[in-house]
Amino acid sequence: MSYYEPQDLKNFPKVGNFKPDLWEKFMAYYQAATGEEGALSKREKALIALAIAHSKQCPYCIDSYTTTCLEAGASPDQMTEAVHVAAAMDAGITLVHGVQMHNHLEGLGA
């Protein structure tokens, strides 16, 4: 048994057992933002969500949005590119903090 069990995802609504009003507001917002066609298509939204799932390393979201991407008509190439975008962003975000390192180096007169 691991800390994250795939079957635990179906228990997500239990979070709404307390403060259900907040849960319902979250769900309405979540559905509107991710599950409906808008300025972005459902497929584009699913690919963004898949990329974030990897970046944030959420195992539930990775499983869920892999399926969602497929059911939105995405191809494995598109899904893999989305993960590369997340990985490249993560690398860039790490690397750009090198600016802070350099700022501090210069501040130290190094």
Partner 1 sequence: MTALPTAAHDFAATLAARGVDLSRRTCRTLQVNLTKLCNQACLHCHVDSSPKRTEHLSREGVERCLELLRLNPMLEVLDLTGGAPELHADFRELVRGARALDRTVIVRHNLTVTLDPHPTSGASMEDLPEFFAEQRVQLVSSLPFYEQYFTDKQRGRGVFGKSLESMRRLNALGFGIQGSGLELILVYNPVGAFLPASQEALEADYRAKLRAAHGLEFTQLFTITNMPINRFAEDLRRRGTYESYIQKLVSAFNPVAASNVMCRDLISVDWRGQIYDCDFNQMLELEVEDAGTALTIFDLDLERLRELPIKTEAHCFGCTAGAGSSCGGTTETP
The residue (of 67 and 103) whose beta carbon lies closer to partner 1 is 67
Q: Evaluate whether 88 touches 32 at the Cβ level (below 8 Å).
A: no
98 is an interface residue for partner 1 by CB under 8 A: no
The residue (of 75 and 103) whose beta carbon lies closer to partner 1 is 75
43 is an interface residue for partner 1 by CB under 8 A: yes
**Contacts (CB under 8 A) with partner 1, residues 59-78:** 67, 70-73, 75-77
13 is an interface residue for partner 1 by CB under 8 A: no
- In whole angstroms, give the CA distance from residue 12 to residue 90: 27
Interface with partner 1 by CB under 8 A: which residues? 41, 43, 67, 70-73, 75-77
